[in-house]
C-alpha cells in the first residue's frame, strides 16, 4: 500500500475521523559534497520522489498522539513532557518519536505555537539507507504544525530554509546527531528536475540542471546503519580538531572550507594521522564541488560523473565511511554500460549508492546491478530509478 493510502486509512481506524490534512516531505540523495556541510562547504543534493507522508488533524486535548504506521507503534506527549523525552504517561519516548518531538521542541524554543496534534505517518524512504528518512520526518511534521497553527489561530509561517534550520536544531540538540543542514534543506527546499547547490556557510542556494537524458539511480545495499552510534560524531570532531590546529598557521580559518588544497598539503604534517585523513577528504571534497559547478552548467555530465567516482574513493580511503558492500555496489555500477558516475551517498557505514546513468539504459542498468550485487554478496538489494522532486508541502 502506498504510504499516502496507509496513513489516511490508519488515521480513520485509530482516531475515528477523517484527517484534516495530508502533508509529505521527500527524502534526498546527495550527488556530490559528502560530509562537508558541517565544514561550511558546498553540497549538491536533490529531493527525491520518495517521502514521509503524514495524515493529521488538531487534537481534542493538550496531548499529541502520533502513530508510526510502518512500525505499528504509538507515542503521545505534551509540551511539558517533550524536554525530558518522555511520553505523556512518563515512560521513555520510543527512538522514532525523537524526530517529531524534537521538531516540536525546536519550535517551542523559537517561541512558536505547537498545537496538539493527532497524526499518523509512514514513509517509503528506506530507514538507515542514507536517504535522509529522519529529515523527511522532521520536515513533514514542521509543515503539519505550521498548518495547524493557522487552524488554531496562532498562525506562523516560516520559509522552507527556516523550517530546515529548526529541523537541524532538533537533530543536533534533541536527537543528538551533529548533522549539518543539507538533509533538512533538501527535504524542505527541493525543486522538481533540479539539483540544489547550497553554500553551507551563507545558506545561499541555487538550482542546477539535471540533463533530460540522465537518470538518478539509487542502489540500496540492504545494509543498515545508525548515525546515533557515534561514528559520525567522531568524524565531525576530527574535522574540528583539524581546524584548531590549522588556524594556528592560517589566519581567518573558521572551518575547513577556508583551507585551500595547497595550504592543506603544505601543513598536513602538523595533523595527527587520523585527523589528517579525515580533514583531507573534506578539503578535497569541497574543491571537487567547486569544480563540479561549471561542469553541470555546461552540460559536461561525463566529467561530472568522474568527480563522483573520485568522491567515492576519498570516502572509502580517507574518510573511511564505506564498507565492503558499498564498495562492491560502486565497482559493479562503474563497470556497467551507461554509468556516468557512482559513489556511496549519505553518512556511509551502509545504506545506498547514488548513480548517474544514461536514461535510455537505466532499466537494464538497474537489473544487472541488482543481479551482480546479489551474486557477489548474497544480499538482495533494492534499486530505485528516481527523479528530483519538490520539497515538503501539503498535498
Query: CA-CA distances (angstroms) from residue 88 to 98, 148, 220?
Result: 14, 20, 37
Grouping H, G, I as helix, E, B as strand and the rest as coil, residue 393 is strand
pLDDT attached to residue 380: 97
Say what percent of the chain tops pLDDT 90: 87
In the 8-state DSSP scheme, what is residue 378?
Answer: S
pLDDT confidence of 363, banded at 50, 70, 90? very high
Count the neighbouring beta carbons within 10 Å of the beta carbon of residue 387: 14
> Could you read off the pLDDT of 53-71 as tens digits, one per residue?
999 999 999 999 999 999 9
The pairing of strands 117-123 and 64-68 is: parallel
Mean pLDDT lowest for which of 169-178, 270-279, 359-368? Answer: 169-178
pLDDT confidence of 229, banded at 50, 70, 90? low
Q: CA-to-CA distance for 308 and 259, rounded, in angstroms?
A: 21
Task: Please say if the pLDDT value at position 127 is more than 90.
Answer: no
Task: Please say if the pLDDT value at position 228 is more than 50.
Answer: no
Write out the catalytic residue numbers: 183
Task: Please say if the pLDDT value at position 172 is more than 80.
Answer: yes
Task: Please say if the pLDDT value at position 226 is more than 60.
Answer: no
Contacts of 55 (CB under 8 A, 6+ apart): 7, 8, 10, 11, 19, 21, 22, 119, 120, 121
Query: Which of 188, 176, 75, 178 lies closest to 142, judged by CA?
Result: 188
Burial 279-309 (b: 16+ CB within 10 A, else e): bbbbbbbbbbbeebbebbeeeebebbbebbb
Q: CA-to-CA distance for 48 and 391, rounded, in angstroms?
A: 9
pLDDT attached to residue 347: 84
Q: CA-to-CA distance for 321 and 299, rounded, in angstroms?
A: 30
Q: 328: part of which helix (H) or strand (E)?
A: helix 324-335
Q: What is the mean pLDDT of the chain?
A: 94
Q: Which residue has the higher pLDDT, 60 or 224?
A: 60
Q: CA-to-CA distance for 190 and 194, rounded, in angstroms?
A: 8
Delineate the domains of the chain, giving CATH numbers in brackets: 3-208 (3.30.230.10), 210-386 (3.30.70.890)
Q: CA-to-CA distance for 164 and 378, rounded, in angstroms?
A: 38
pLDDT attached to residue 68: 97
Per DSSP, helices labelled H in 65-118 are: 98-109
Amino acid at each position: 500500500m502506498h504510504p499516502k493510502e496507509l496513513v489516511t486509512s490508519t488515521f480513520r481506524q485509530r482516531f475515528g475521523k477523517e484527517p484534516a490534512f495530508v502533508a509529505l516531505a521527500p527524502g534526498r540523495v546527495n550527488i556530490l559534497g559528502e560530509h562537508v556541510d558541517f565544514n561550511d562547504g558546498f553540497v549538491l543534493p536533490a529531493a527525491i520522489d520518495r517521502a514521509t507522508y503524514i495524515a493529521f488533524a488538531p487534537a481534542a486535548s493538550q496531548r499529541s498522539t502520533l502513530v508510526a504506521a510502518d512500525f505499528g507503534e504509538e507515542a503521545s506527549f505534551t509540551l511539558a513532557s517533550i524536554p525530558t523525552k518522555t511520553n505523556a504517561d512518563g515512560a521513555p519516548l520510543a527512538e522514532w518519536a525523537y524526530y517529531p518531538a524534537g521538531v516540536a521542541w525546536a519550535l517551542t524554543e523559537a517561541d512558536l505555537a505547537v498545537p496538539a496534534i493527532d497524526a499518523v505517518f509512514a514513509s517509503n524512504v528506506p530507514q538507515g539507507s542514507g536517504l535522509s528518512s529522519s529529515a523527511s520526518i522532521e520536515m513533514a511534521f514542521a509543515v503539519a504544525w505550521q498548518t495547524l497553527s493557522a487552524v488554531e489561530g496562532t498562525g506562523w509561517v516560516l520559509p522552507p530554509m527556516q523550517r530546515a534550520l529548526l529541523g537541524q536544531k532538533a537533530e543536533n540538540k534533541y536527537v543528538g546527531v551533529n548533522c549539518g543542514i543539507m538533509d533538512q534543506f533538501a527535504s524542505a527546499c527541493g525543486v522538481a528536475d533540479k539539483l540544489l547547490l547550497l553554500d553551507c556557510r551563507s545558506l545561499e542556494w541555487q538550482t542546477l540542471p539535471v540533463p533530460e537524458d540522465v537518470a538518478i539511480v539509487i542502489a540500496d545495499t540492504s545494509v543498515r546503519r545508525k548515525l546515533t552510534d557515534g561514528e559520525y560524531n567522531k568524524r565531525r570532531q576530527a574535522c574540528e580538531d583539524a581546524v584548531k590546529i590549522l588556524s594556528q598557521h592560517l589566519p581567518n580559518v573558521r572551518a575547513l572550507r577556508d583551507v585551500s588544497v595547497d595550504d592543506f598539503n603544505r601543513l598536513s604534517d602538523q595533523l595527527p594521522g587520523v585527523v589528517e585523513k579525515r580533514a583531507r577528504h573534506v578539503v578535497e571534497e569541497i574543491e571537487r564541488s567547486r569544480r563540479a559547478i561549471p561542469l553541470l552548467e555546461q552540460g559536461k555530465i561525463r566529467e561530472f560523473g568522474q568527480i563522483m567516482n573520485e568522491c567515492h574513493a576519498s570516502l572509502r580511503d580517507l574518510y573511511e565511511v564505506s564498507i565492503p558492500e558499498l564498495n562492491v555496489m560502486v565497482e559493479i555500477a562503474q563497470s556497467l554500460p551507461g554509468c556516468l558516475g557512482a559513489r556511496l551517498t549519505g553518512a556511509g557505514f551502509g545504506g545506498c549508492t547514488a548513480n548517474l546513468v544514461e536514461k535510455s539504459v537505466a532499466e537494464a542498468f538497474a537489473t544487472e546491478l541488482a543481479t551482480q550485487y546479489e551474486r557477489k554478496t548474497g544480499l538482495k538489494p533494492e534499486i530505485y530509478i528516481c527523479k528530483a522532486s519538490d520539497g515538503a508541502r501539503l498535498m
